[in-house]
Amino acid sequence: MYPSKLQHADRMIWVAIAAVAGAVLISSALGSFQIEWASFRKAALVEILLLSASWFYSAIRKDVPLAEALMSAAQIIAFASVAAPLSYVAASAAFPLWDIDLAALDHRLGLDWMAWLAAMNAAPLLHTILAGAYASFAVQTTAIVVVLAAAGHALRLRIFILSFVLLTLVTIAVSTVMPAQGVWGYLHLSALDSPAIAPITRDLPLPVFFGLRDGSFRHLVAEGAEGIISFPSLHAALGLLFIFALWPVRFIGWISVLLNTAMIAATPVDGSHYFSDVAAGLAIAALSWIAVSRVFTRTGSVRPSWLTAKPGGGLETANMAERVSAKK
C-alpha cells in the first residue's frame, strides 16, 4: 500500500507539471506571448541530471533516500520552472486592481502597514534578521527535500510537494481575478520612506507587472522571473507549509517554526504585501496541506502533524507513525 501511494503521488505531481507546461505552451502558440527558451536551459539541464541520478540510485546503487531526494528536487524545479511563466499569463488577464479594497481591509482590521515599516526602519538589525529569513525560500525548499528523504518520510515529502503545487496553482488563480500591485506601488513609496533599510521586493516587479497588464511585456521566462503575485502571498503560504512539513523532525521542527515565523513577519515589508495578503496565503497553505494529506492518509496526517506527532519526537517515531498511517 505504501509504495503504491508514493507512485500515485508521483504521477499526480508529474501530471500537474505537464498540465501547467501545456497551458504555458498553448498561451504562447495561440496568444502574443513568446517563450524565452534560453531561460529554461539551466533548469532543463539540472532536471536531466537529477532524474538520471535518481534512476541510478534507485535501480543500480540502491540508495533509496538519495533517490527520493533527487527525484523530489527534480519535481520541484520542474514545477517552479513552468509555474513562473503561468503567473505571467495569469497577470495578463488585467482584471481591475484590488489594492484599494485590500488596503481598506487592513485598515478595518486595525493593521497599519506604514507603522510596521517604521518599526523595521527603526530597528535595522531586526529587519536584517527578518529579511534573511524571507530570502531563505530556496535554501529551505532544498533542506526539506534532503531532511525528509534522509529521515525516511517519503510520503510526507510527496504531501509537501503536492501541497506546494496545489497552493501555488490556487494562488495564481486567485491573483488572476484579484490582482494587486502591492503596497510599495500603491502608496508610491521610495527609498526615502525607509532610509535605514532596503526591503527586498519594493517596486522591482512593477515594470513587468504593468507590462503584462498593458501588453507591452510578453516574454515567458523561467530563470529570472519576477514574483508578481500580491494577493494571496505565496511567500507567507510557503512559510506555513515549511513548518507543517518539518514539524515532526527532532530539533529541526522547532528551527523551522522560528525561521518561518520570521519569514512570515518579514513578508509585508520585504514582499510589499498587505496584511490581508499574508492572511489569505496562510489560509490557502493550511487548506492545501489538509486536503492533500487527507487524500493520502485516513487520519489526515496533518491535522497537521502538530496534532498527530509531538515536536522532537524522534525521526524513528515520526517515521513509524507515518508508515502505519499509510498502511491502514
As beta bridge partners, residue 220 has 35
Q: Cα 165 from chain centroid?
A: 8
Residue 4's pLDDT band (cuts 50, 70, 90): confident
**What's the whole-number mean pLDDT along residues 151-171?**
95
**How do residues 231-276 score in pLDDT, each as one tens digit?**
999 999 999 999 999 999 988 999 999 999 999 999 999 999 999 9
326, pLDDT greater than 50 = no
What are the backbone dihedrals phi and psi of residue 277, each rounded to the nearest 5 degrees, phi first? -60, -45
Residue 32 CA to residue 51 CA, distance in Å, equals: 33
Number of H helices, E strands in the chain: 14, 2
322, pLDDT greater than 50 = no
| Identity of the residue numbered 256 | S
Give 132-153 as a DSSP string. HHHTTHHHHHHHHHHHHHHTT-
**Which of these, 276, 229, 275, 268, lies nearest to 131 by C-alpha position?**
268
The DSSP code for 220 is E
Residue 149 CA to residue 283 CA, distance in Å, equals: 27
**How do residues 275-313 score in pLDDT, each as one tens digit?**
999 999 999 999 999 999 998 876 444 444 443 444 444
Name the grid cell of 11. 504521477
Measured between its terminal Cα atoms, the distance across the chain in Å is 8
**What's the whole-number mean pLDDT along residues 111-137?**
95
Per the listing, cell 534532503 goes with 146
Q: Cα 236 from chain centroid?
A: 8
Task: Report yes or no: 77 and 44 within 8 Å, Cβ to Cβ.
Answer: no
Per the listing, cell 492572511 goes with 279
Task: Report yes or no: 144 and 257 within 8 Å, Cβ to Cβ.
Answer: no
Residue 208's pLDDT band (cuts 50, 70, 90): very high
The predicted structure's pLDDT at residue 2: 55
Residue 118 CA to residue 195 CA, distance in Å, equals: 10
Give 86-122 as a DSSP string. HHHHHHTT-PPP-HHHHHHHHHHTT--HHHHHHHHHH
Q: How far is CA 60 from CA 57, 64, 67, 132, 153, in A?
A: 6, 11, 11, 40, 22
Element (H, E) at 274: none
